[in-house]
Amino acid sequence: MAAVCTTIAFVPQIVKIQKQGGRDLSYPMLALYLTGVLLWFAYGWILQRPEMLWANGITALLVVVAIVLKASHPNKV
């Protein structure tokens, strides 16, 4: 349940970036978040835990989408 909550929690941020732009998010924060998620993914790989792989894989994808949207929608108001 925790994995579902933390994965879904990033979706409103992506919607906000699409509507308002990504000016309020910093690239270092997104990079640090992505690094943490990928480390959890690697840990799930080591433990062979599919739930950790799916949750962190999806979250990593959402963070990459946020980075791409921030780069393509920087100053939308």
Say which DSSP state 37 is in. Answer: H
What are the C-alpha distances in Å from 70 to residues 4, 18, 30, 40? Answer: 24, 8, 10, 24
Query: What pLDDT, in 10s, does the model give residues 1-28?
Result: 888 888 888 899 888 888 888 888 889 9
Query: What pLDDT, in 10s, does the model give residues 61-73?
Result: 999 999 998 888 7
pLDDT confidence of residue 55 = 93
